[in-house]
Structure 1
Amino acid sequence: MRTFRAIGLMSGTSMDGIDIAMLETDGEMISRFGPSALHLYREDEVALLRRALDEARALTDRDARPGAVGEAERMVTALHAGAVRVFLDANGIDSERIDVIGFHGQTVLHRPDERLTVQIGDGQGLADETGIRVVYDLRAADVAAGGQGAPLVPVYHRALAATLACPRPIAVLNIGGVANVTFIDGVPDPYACDTGPGNALIDDFMRERRGEARDENGGAAARGRVDAGAVARVLGHSFFALKPPKSLDRNAFREWVADRAALADKSVEDGAATLAAITAATVATIVPHLPEPPKSWIVCGGGASNATLMRMLGERLAPARVETANEAGWNADAIEAQAFAYMAVRSLRGLPITFPTTTGAPEPMTGGVVAEPRAARRKRMRI
Structure 2
Amino acid sequence: MSDLFLGLISGTSADGIDAAIARFDDARPRARAELVFGRTYPWDAALRSRLVALGQQDADLSLDALGELETRVAEGFADAANRALADARLVAGDIAAIGSHGQTLRHRPQGCRGDGRHGFTLQLGDPSRIAERTGITTVADFRRRDVAAGGHGAPLLPALHAALLQDAHEQRAVLNLGGIANLTLLPGGGGDVRGFDTGPANGLMDAWCLRHTGAAFDRDGAMAAGGRVDAALLARLRDDPWFALPPPKSSGRDQFHLAWVEAALQGGEAPADVQATLLALSVATITDALRAAQPATTRLIACGGGVHNGALMRALAAALPGTQVESSAAHGLDPDHMEAMGFAWLARRTLLGMPGNLPLVTGAAGPRILGGIYPA
- Structure 2 length normalisation: TM-score? 0.91
Structure 1 segment 38-53 matched on structure 2, within 5 A? 38-53=40-55
User: 2:94 aligned to 94, 97, 102, which one?
Assistant: 97
Q: Residue 233 of structure 1: CA displacement?
A: 2.1
- Aligned residue for 2:172? 170
1:31/1:219 Cα in 2 relative to 1: closer, same or farther (>3 Å)? closer
- Aligned residue for 1:80? 77
Tell me the amino acid that sits aligned with residue 96 of structure 2: D
How far apart, in 2, do the equivalents of 1:200 and 1:110 lie?
15
- Aligned residue for 1:129? 133
**What SS does structure 1 have at the residue aligned with 2:369?**
coil
Q: Residue 121 of structure 1: CA displacement?
A: 0.7
Instruction: Report if the CA contact (8 A) 1:221-1:276 is conserved.
Output: yes
- Aligned residue for 2:115? none
Instruction: Report if the CA contact (8 A) 1:27-1:346 is conserved.
Output: no
- Aligned residue for 2:314? 311
How far apart, in 2, do the equivalents of 1:330 and 1:234 lie?
33
TM-align CA RMSD:
2.2
Instruction: Report if the CA contact (8 A) 1:23-1:30 is conserved.
Output: no
How far apart, in 2, do the equivalents of 1:315 and 1:359 lie?
30
| Residues 84-114 of structure 1, C-alpha deviations (whole Å, 9 max, x = no match) | 1111111111211110100000000000023
Q: Residue 364 of structure 1: CA displacement?
A: 1.8
| Residues 48-83 of structure 1, C-alpha deviations (whole Å, 9 max, x = no match) | 223444687558xxxxx7244322221111111111
Instruction: Report if the CA contact (8 A) 2:106-2:254 is conserved.
Output: no
Instruction: Report if the CA contact (8 A) 1:3-1:26 is conserved.
Output: no
Tell me the amino acid that sits aligned with residue 162 of structure 2: R
How far apart, in 1, do the equivalents of 2:220 and 2:22 lie?
28
How far apart, in 2, do the equivalents of 1:345 and 1:334 lie?
17
Q: What are the ranges of 5 or more consecutive residues in structure 1 without an aligned counterpart?
A: 60-64, 374-383
- Aligned residue for 2:351? 348
Q: Which shifted more, 101-110 or 241-250?
A: 241-250
- Aligned residue for 1:16? 15
Instruction: Report if the CA contact (8 A) 2:16-2:40 is conserved.
Output: yes
Q: Residue 239 of structure 1: CA displacement?
A: 1.8
How far apart, in 1, do the equivalents of 2:339 and 2:81 lie?
16
- Aligned residue for 2:234? 231
- Aligned residue for 2:156? 152
User: 1:287 aligned to 290, 295, 302, which one?
Assistant: 290
Instruction: Report if the CA contact (8 A) 2:55-2:253 is conserved.
Output: no
Q: What are the ranges of 5 or more consecutive residues in structure 2 without an aligned counterpart?
A: 111-117
**What SS does structure 1 have at the residue aligned with 2:360?**
coil
Instruction: Report if the CA contact (8 A) 1:27-1:343 is conserved.
Output: no
**What SS does structure 2 have at the residue aligned with 1:38?**
strand
Instruction: Report if the CA contact (8 A) 1:175-1:299 is conserved.
Output: yes
- Count of paired positions: 364
**What SS does structure 2 have at the residue aligned with 1:332?**
coil
Task: Report sequence identity in percent.
Answer: 38
How far apart, in 2, do the equivalents of 1:174 and 1:50 lie?
20
Q: Which shifted more, 240-249 or 67-76?
A: 67-76
1:134/1:55 Cα in 2 relative to 1: closer, same or farther (>3 Å)? farther
How far apart, in 1, do the equivalents of 2:211 and 2:105 lie?
20
Alignment of 1:299 onto 2:296: no
**What SS does structure 2 have at the residue aligned with 1:318?**
coil
Q: Residue 266 of structure 1: CA displacement?
A: 2.1
- Structure 1 length normalisation: TM-score? 0.89
